[in-house]
Amino acid sequence: MVAAATLTIDLGALRGNYRAVRAAAAPASAGAVLKADSYGLGAERIAPALYDEGCRDFFFAHLAEALIIRPILAPDARLFVMNGLQPGTERVCAEAGLIPMLNSLEQVANWSALGVAAPEPLPAVLQFDSGMSRLGMEPAEARRLASEPALLAGVKPLYAMSHLACADDPADPENGQQLAAMGEVRTLFPALPLCLANSGGVFLGPDFHGALVRPGIALYGGIPNPPAEKVISPVVRLDVPVIQTRTVPPGTRIGYGGDFVAPAEMRLAAIEAGYADGLPRHLGGTGAAFFEGVRLPMVGRVSMDSVVIDISGLPPGTLRLGSRVELIGPHQTLDQFAAAADTIAYEILTRLGRRYQRIYKD
């Protein structure tokens, strides 16, 4: 309660976004990506809310993330580790009942060796590189895996998986090229259902849906591509209090380095959030706060714990110590806030610090 700024997370909107994605992807199943602590919003609160909404497939980047959430979800929930496993962690993963995505023949061999010694083969997802050149087995590895069944002796493959690189732009030809690449993979593994679509991929159409989609940013209120804008609702609101107000004469230098010089008399307010709270330094000179619909530009550099805003557009005395201004909310969406910092909604969410008072409403 002593935290100054408040980050409000609307679990009802989160649930609504999941329902919207699930409807768009039907008849495919819809999972949920909870990596990076549910994009910074708190996986221990997000996971049960989505489970109650019917989600049963949850995706994490790291093994450690999945291990934290496994005890708070019912046994019928499936937890996937998208980065696969580091050598020596296979037994921990198996004993926790987690499902790795195997990105290389080395990972396949390590997981299969454990599965051969187990009572039955261990479930896994086979990840293939379809053109992003990041994670996944290359075409030659896929062909070898298909031609040598013994490599999968201890593995029970559940899906053939890949990741779309350009789903934020429905017109990008890379989307179709990656879909075609996965079509070739599936000729090698015809019994394996497809898991391809991320948030953006869900809104590229049914060709991309496969059997299971794994939305992330769309659940948290980010707009992955234009078609999603009609059905995705905001989930977060960020309100920050004023620390101090002042009036400065023309020629006053403001902030570190004196980067901004007041062109005329200005009324200013320092607000209690900075780059330690996840506000990118790029916001200095481009970002803004809002108060009752009035845009209040940020002036000077973003500091570690504060940033200065121009409140000259408000009547004198409107803002004072403790008044709150909106950084993300009805007057400035998450994506607009990110664009002002020349970044993306994903980065903004995952950078939001732990100093905010977090309010979950449902």
- Residue 9: phi and psi, rounded to 5, are -120, 115
Say whether both 171 and 44 belong to one domain. yes
CB-based contact 298:288 (threshold 8 Å): yes
Domain annotation covers residue 325: yes
165-209: pLDDT as tens digits: 999 999 999 999 999 999 999 999 999 999 999 999 999 999 999
For the cut 80, the answer to whether the pLDDT of residue 3 exceeds it is no
Domain boundary, last residue among 192, 221, 250: 221
Say whether both 267 and 138 belong to one domain. no
State both tokens at 266: 């200005």
User: What are the strands, taking DSSP E only, across 70-211?
Assistant: 78-81, 99-102, 122-127, 155-161, 194-195
State both tokens at 326: 């909106």
| DSSP H or E stretch at residue 18 | helix 11-25
Domain annotation covers residue 228: no
For the cut 90, the answer to whether the pLDDT of residue 292 exceeds it is yes
Rounded Cα–Cα distance for residues 328 and 283 (Å):
13
- Residue 125: phi and psi, rounded to 5, are -110, 135
Rounded Cα–Cα distance for residues 224 and 221 (Å):
9
Cβ–Cβ contacts within 10 Å for residue 26, how many? Answer: 12
Confidence band (pLDDT; 50, 70, 90) for 1? low
For the cut 90, the answer to whether the pLDDT of residue 225 exceeds it is yes
Residue with tokens 């769309």: 218
Domain annotation covers residue 310: yes
Task: Give the active site residues.
Answer: 35, 256
Angle between helix axes 11-25 and 43-52 (nearest 10 degrees) is 50
3-state per-residue secondary structure call for 333-344: CHHHHHHHCCCC
- Residue 258: phi and psi, rounded to 5, are 60, 35
Instruction: List the domain range (segments joined by +) for residue 264.
Output: 236-361
Domain annotation covers residue 3: no
- Residue 114: phi and psi, rounded to 5, are -70, -40
Cβ–Cβ contacts within 10 Å for residue 180, how many? Answer: 11
- Residue 278: phi and psi, rounded to 5, are 95, 10
29-50: pLDDT as tens digits: 999 999 999 999 999 999 999 9
For the cut 90, the answer to whether the pLDDT of residue 138 exceeds it is yes
For the cut 60, the answer to whether the pLDDT of residue 134 exceeds it is yes
* Distance (Å) of CA 77 to CA 55, 58, 201, 354: 8, 7, 23, 28
Rounded Cα–Cα distance for residues 84 and 339 (Å):
32
- The domain tally of the chain equals 2
Say whether both 188 and 253 belong to one domain. no
Say whether both 213 and 243 belong to one domain. no
3-state SS, residue 93: helix
Domain annotation covers residue 91: yes
Mean predicted lDDT score pLDDT of the chain: 97
Rounded Cα–Cα distance for residues 300 and 334 (Å):
22
Rounded Cα–Cα distance for residues 284 and 286 (Å):
6
Rounded Cα–Cα distance for residues 164 and 179 (Å):
9
Say whether both 199 and 296 belong to one domain. no
| DSSP H or E stretch at residue 108 | helix 105-117
CB-based contact 218:202 (threshold 8 Å): yes
CB-based contact 201:212 (threshold 8 Å): no
Average pLDDT score over residue span 334-352: 97
Average pLDDT score over residue span 309-313: 98
For β-strands 78-81 and 57-60, DSSP reports them as parallel
Domain annotation covers residue 4: no
Domain boundary, last residue among 174, 190, 221: 221
CATH code at position 340: 2.40.37.10
230-272: pLDDT as tens digits: 999 999 999 999 999 999 999 999 999 999 999 999 999 999 9
Helices then strands, each counted (H, E), the chain: 11, 19
Say whether both 178 and 257 belong to one domain. no
- Residue 248: phi and psi, rounded to 5, are -120, 145
Using only C-alpha atoms, the chain has a radius of gyration, in whole angstroms, of 24
